[in-house]
Structure 1
């Protein structure tokens, strides 16, 4: 549902508005403005006879991955996978860095190591 005024289904009033807009004169751009714009544009161009400097290999890798946001996501996923992997080692008797100071088991009520908290619910 739109909020257009009801004109008995006649859209001629829209054509009239558009015709009026088309007949209005277009203002001319001041010469000073065009001169400033063109000077800025020419200032952004490389010097003639210059050579293209290749991007460093690390910047090419970062751009190929998808930018710094993608690199941050990959680092976060790798760190999370590492922590989850170390949490799975606790069951086979390998001491993980966060359980070196005390002994806890998954079936104890106070265990919050790795995935022990989800075993409390049953």
Structure 2
């Protein structure tokens, strides 16, 4: 731990069209919302891991986020989501590791159709 901070993992997911511009827009929107919901500064982020369903092959979400001007100094990584029968298609998931005060109530974000993955987290 660093100072009076605790390591947290924040989850999120979004559905996208298989178009570079939409992937960039959706990933940037999801990232911005997670930062806003958790009053999170990029300086507190350790790493950002994306998983992508196999049907999204127009743009890497890590590259999309960086090219959008965000996360310039962060460790970003993207992997292909495990293929599962009946799984939600056109989906990018994110896991953000960050330091926040221990009393923080983490807020995850599921958007643009991905709410079905975690209805208990939907607004």
For Structure 1 versus Structure 2, the TM-score category normalised by the shorter chain is under 0.3
Q: Report which of the two has the higher share of strand.
A: 2
Q: Report which of the two has the higher share of helix.
A: 1
* RCO comparison, higher one (Cα < 8 Å, 6+): 2
